[in-house]
Structure 1
Amino acid sequence: MVNSAYSEKIKEWLKFSNRDKKWIAHNFCLSEKDVDKWVEDGEAPSREHEETLLQFMNPKVVDLYIYQPWEIAKKILREWRIKGTNPYRTNDIFEFLPAKKTYNDYTKHSSHQVICFSRSVSSAAMWGHYADKHKGVCLVFSLPVTPHNEPNYNHWRIEKLHEDFLHNCLYNVLYKKNRVVFPDVFPFFNPKVIEDLMITKDKSWFFEKEMRLLCLIKHASSTDDEGNIFFSEILQYLSGIVLGVRFPHNVNYVQEWYKQLQLENIEKPEIKIVNSYISPNYFKIENEVFHDTPMGSFPYRKLLPKKIVDNGLIILPGKII
């Protein structure tokens, strides 16, 4: 069935998103000739291809959260940058540590940093641990996400950010009993193994409902004298601030403070600033605007391309989970 309007819609989207037909062919594991049938000839994609294509053309917006003490949140908002986490310096002794190893030296000179989000804004434990015992705030990021459709990689992309390999990849952290097992020779050639290490944590951290954004250091916006690495692009998606139940100021105070920042830098987006309160019936911290984001809110890829050969290895792609 020929549909020239659909063809024009795809062309418009490719131009707007700064992509091309090669990008579609790569992400859908198709030949450019197959893609030409959609883009140039107006042939309708199969139902499965169309559903997946629509997920790319219409990104889903999901809310993710970062808990901070107010003084650190003010620093983030004033300087308009957020510190990445060095894989070698975390508060989890087992972080990035493969099985049968007692010392983590693999990520000491990592090319990546991570920015850690939570899918929950209602966790009393998170407010207590990371937001100065409820006296801090929770920064809200509304992220337009699409599935990353490359075989063997189960993550999402954030629209309008760099699309370098393994950069701006948003992962759901996996909580497991056993640590990641590496072969005797560390496989630097296989990014998938490195990914597994970077997103696998002990089950005791499950309460965090963590998602991680992998960021290439070369795309950092700045550094400081202590060697900390900062990223600014992600702040374009800041959409709100939730104040802790013990926050020392009212909403008007924070609104006025933020307005002054906007006068200094008009690029800062409009955001919603809301109070939180203790749920009358549940062990939850609630607010009237922002809510926990279930995994079902994220787009998923339905297509399972044929197995491919990479470096002599057979790779069997799986669904995003």
Structure 2
Amino acid sequence: MILYYYTSQRHGLASIRDKRIKISKFSELNDPFDFIGIATDKKEERDLVKNMRGKLNSKTGLVCMSEVWNEPLLWGHYADKHKGVCLAFEVNETKWDKVQYVDQRPRLGDYGVDNIAALKADNLRDISRKKFKSWSYEKEWRYFLSFKKPDFVDGHYFLDFDDELKLIGVVLGERSTVTKEQIAAMIDAHPSIKIGFARAAFSRFSLILNRLRTQVMVPKKNRVALPKLGAI
């Protein structure tokens, strides 16, 4: 399965160079209803949720990616207003959870329990996959993992690239300032990588491959081919 990771140019180039990706904590997510977004009217239950979230935040993180590389909102929100990059990864689908977009927050009764403490691990995982439907444009997948495995550098956790997180392509934003020298460094680090520049489509709200800029900036053997862009 191919998934796409949107980020700023600085962080994207660092990920390519260091062959690793940053893992987010739950406290860093941009949705306050994210994990655990269980609906409850009782203050004591809300306090338990807050406590549970705090414990999980210290032990567990996640990597979030999208099914698509050409969503303008994702470029605007996560890729530094189209100045950033979108990294394409071949991943092990069995380790990733597809986000479910819903109208209503889940309630305890949905899981056959009447208190937060009775929720099982599977219930918590299911809750962590649910987001409000307004986020559906993200077409998000999530990889949850313990902080025991990743590297801890400069106060952040990182997950190294490997056969189950294989970088295969880079799409550079329409406003990217990446140079030929930086592209050469990407290729030195990942000789088979495919690279292309994006631009706004002329007739619809989408991003497409900027063929001319890609031809000018990227060596032929490393260019993204237009018919294959959706599969890099």
What is the TM-score with the length of structure 1 in the denominator?
0.57
SS at match of 2:54: coil
Give 1:120-269 correspondences, 5 Å limit: 120-145=68-93, 157=94, 169-182=95-108, 183-187=114-118, 190-220=120-150, 222-226=151-155, 228-234=156-162, 236-249=165-178, 252-260=180-188, 262=189, 268=190
Q: Which has the higher strand share?
A: 2
1:109 aligns with 2:64: no
Listed as ranges, the gaps of 5+ residues in structure 2 are 41-45, 109-113, 210-225
Shift of 1:292: 7.5
**One-letter code of the match for 1:245?**
E
Query: Aligned in 2, Cα 1:249/1:87: closer, same or farther, shift over 3 Å?
Result: closer
2:187–2:193 CA contact under 8 A, matched in 1? no
Query: Aligned in 2, Cα 1:255/1:225: closer, same or farther, shift over 3 Å?
Result: closer
SS at match of 1:291: helix
**One-letter code of the match for 1:105?**
N
**One-letter code of the match for 2:98?**
N
1:80 aligns with 2:10: no
**Taking every aligned residue pair, what percent have the same amino acid on both sides?**
27
SS at match of 1:104: helix
Query: Aligned in 2, Cα 1:196/1:237: closer, same or farther, shift over 3 Å?
Result: same
Aligned positions, number: 200
Shift of 1:76: 1.5
Query: Aligned in 2, Cα 1:249/1:80: closer, same or farther, shift over 3 Å?
Result: closer
| Superimposed CA distance per residue, residues 70-109 of structure 1 (whole angstroms, 9 cap, x where no aligned partner) | 0011221222221111123311111113212376331222
Q: Which has the higher helix share?
A: 2
Corresponding residue for residue 303 of structure 1: none
**One-letter code of the match for 1:290?**
L
Query: Aligned in 2, Cα 1:72/1:121: closer, same or farther, shift over 3 Å?
Result: same
Query: Aligned in 2, Cα 1:185/1:116: closer, same or farther, shift over 3 Å?
Result: closer
Query: Aligned in 2, Cα 1:140/1:93: closer, same or farther, shift over 3 Å?
Result: same
1:69–1:130 CA contact under 8 A, matched in 2? yes
Query: Is the radius of gyration larger for structure 1 or structure 2?
Result: 1
Distance 2:68 2:33 in 1: 23
1:176–1:203 CA contact under 8 A, matched in 2? yes
Stretch of structure 1 that moved more, 233-242 or 279-288: 233-242
More contact order relative to length (CA 8 Å, sep ≥ 6): 2
What RMSD, in angstroms, separates the aligned Cα atoms of the two structures?
Answer: 2.3
Q: Match for 2:29 among 79, 90, 96?
A: 90
What is the TM-score with the length of structure 2 in the denominator?
0.78
Corresponding residue for residue 39 of structure 2: 99
Shift of 1:249: 3.1
2:199–2:207 CA contact under 8 A, matched in 1? yes
Distance 2:77 2:88 in 1: 17
Listed as ranges, the gaps of 5+ residues in structure 1 are 1-61, 146-156, 158-168, 263-267, 294-321
**One-letter code of the match for 2:145?**
C
Distance 2:198 2:137 in 1: 19
Distance 1:286 1:187 in 2: 48
